[in-house]
Structure 1
Amino acid sequence: MALEIERKFLVNSDRFKEEAYQKNYIKQGFLNSNKNRTVRIRIMDDKGFLTIKGKSNKSGTSRFEWEKEISKTEAVELFLLCEKGIIEKYRYLVKSEKHTFEVDEFLGKNDGLVVAEIELSSEEESFKKPSWLGKEVTGKKKYYNSNLSKKPFCNL
């Protein structure tokens, strides 16, 4: 059980790819996309994950998150129960001083959308903003993966 504190930004160029030290393919679906609690199934490369997230605070910066690794086989089976709308993306990890940005390049109906997230230890924590970091979209629900699964970027 943990409190997740993160900020989310649009990305304004592909320069992050040159700085990335890791790239993973992610496929995810939602067993429940209720705004008070989301239950997500994710396959990242050859691993499965079950994640439960609570409702975001007023600023959209903090929320409860619980995650457990499960087998890829279990994750594939749970995908059969997911709500309509599967998210596929590449995730790039980019180091920026003491922080790591997770940059998601969406595929399929969300193609063209690139979002960067940074996890912080407090809402007030400062961090270096790379040149490729664009407009902040923290708390903007249309950029939540659970919403993108129902209302893809191509429809925004």
Structure 2
Amino acid sequence: MNEIERKFLVENSAFKAQAYKHERIAQGYLNSHPERTVRIRTKGDKCYLTIKGKSNESGTTRLEWETEIPVAEAQSLLELCESGSIDKIRYEVKSGGHIFEVDEFFGENEGLIIAEVELQHEDETFQKPEWLGKEVTGDNRYYNAYLSRNPYKKWK
């Protein structure tokens, strides 16, 4: 149930030509507390309830539990969510033996593009694509729960 991932800013849109899949994602938070988040996500024609725990000191590992839920239930739960939401397209890009999930944000977070790579262990090596920029693993500002309350457009 642990998720181990590293996050990076993306320097350009070259990843789009390398993507083998992309889907629109919308999500809201029933709880966005840094110690634990509870989110509702629609991804394509599927919906999910996800609970995430607090990250470890390095920001790479945290508990994640997710289950698919019916669309009608997701729509009802979205009405209960805190103010602020996330709207993005997720691109999946293969690089070496890993898959990078690249999120291009819209709405109040437009202009932000973040790539994540899931790992089997914290010190696992991976091939970095040329469009990968500064690492932001462990920087809470780049968590979706934070972005839903403190949109990227308001950072400047």
- TM-score, length-scaled by structure 2: 0.98
Q: Whole-Å Cα distance in 1 between the matches of residues 154 and 139 of structure 2?
A: 16
Task: Indicate whether 1:66 and 2:65 are aligned.
Answer: yes
Q: For residue 63 of structure 1, report the CA deviation from its aligned partner.
A: 0.2
Regions of 4+ moved over 3 Å: none
Q: For residue 71 of structure 1, report the CA deviation from its aligned partner.
A: 1.3
Which residue does 2:146 correspond to in 1? 147
Q: Whole-Å Cα distance in 1 between the matches of residues 83 and 153 of structure 2?
A: 16
Deviations 1:11-67 (A, max 9, x none): 000000000000100000000011111000000011100000000000100000000
Which residue does 1:116 correspond to in 2? 115
Q: Give, as a single letter, the amino acid of the residue that structure 1 aligns with 2:48.
A: F
Q: Give, as a single letter, the amino acid of the residue that structure 2 aligns with 1:148.
A: L
Which residue does 1:55 correspond to in 2? 54
Q: Give, as a single letter, the amino acid of the residue that structure 1 aligns with 2:150.
A: K
List gaps (5 residues or longer) in structure 1: none
- TM-score, length-scaled by structure 1: 0.98
Q: For residue 110 of structure 1, report the CA deviation from its aligned partner.
A: 0.2
Q: Give % identity.
A: 59
SS at the partner of 2:20? Answer: strand
